[in-house]
Every structure is written in structure tokens, then in C-alpha cells.
Structure 1
């Protein structure tokens, strides 16, 4: 399974947040992203918001050996 990430800079924000979160599973990443969005940015945890974040998840580039 490819490592996933989400970059807060890609979501419109007045805070200009520069956080990027990486995880080995999509579910783990989504949970971390929701926690960040709710606690830092004041978003409401709704099914619609989770789906918006899920669509923003991307495959992380492979690390060079």
C-alpha cells in the first residue's frame, strides 16, 4: 500500500497553515487530518467535511533508498 499524505496548504485558509500529515493508511490519515482541522482551524466534523478531506488525500512520493 502506498503511503498517503494531505497538505494543509492546499485547503483555503486565512491561517496560511503549512502542516502536512503522512500516514500508511487512508483511515489513519483521515482521522489525523480531521483532528487537525477541528482543533486548529475550527471546522465541524461532518460526513461532508470528511469526504472533502478524503478527496484531498494523495499518494506520497516514494523515499529514495
Structure 2
């Protein structure tokens, strides 16, 4: 089973969020990413938000960023 991740750096935002979230299952990752989107970014939980997040999920682990580079 490969890990799944979503990386806020790949999604343009006003706050330039650098959070990356990883989980073993897409469902676990989706729930954590929705909570992050609602609590941090002020989105409303909706089917559209979940579809957007689901489409941004990648297989593997988030790439590392060298210190100072984002």
C-alpha cells in the first residue's frame, strides 16, 4: 500500500500555505485535508471542496524542500 499526500504548496492561496498532509488511505487523507481547509483556509465543507481536494491527492510522500526554498 502506497501512502497518499496533498501539498498546499501546489494549490495557490493568499496565505502561501506550506502544509503537506500524508496518510495511508485516501479517505483518511481527505478528512484531514477537509479539516485543514475549513479551519485554516476558511472554506466551507462542501461536495465541491471535497472534489477539489480529492483531485489534488497524489501517491507517495510530499517532496522535501531545501531550507529556505519554497
User: RMSD in angstroms over aligned alpha carbons?
Assistant: 0.8
What pairs with 1:41-60 in structure 2 (closer than 5 Å)? 41-60=41-60
What is the count of residue pairs matched by the alignment?
61
| Superposed structure 1 runs of 4+ greater than 4 Å apart | none
Q: TM-score, normalised by structure 1?
A: 0.89
Could you tell me which residue of structure 2 aligns to residue 22 of structure 1? 22
Structure 2 runs not aligned, ≥5 long: 62-70
Question: Which has more helix, going by share of residues?
Answer: 1
Structure 1 runs not aligned, ≥5 long: none
Give the Cα–Cα distance (whole angstroms) in 2 for the partners of residues 57 and 7 of structure 1.
8
Q: TM-score, normalised by structure 2?
A: 0.83
Give the Cα–Cα distance (whole angstroms) in 2 for the partners of residues 60 and 7 of structure 1.
11
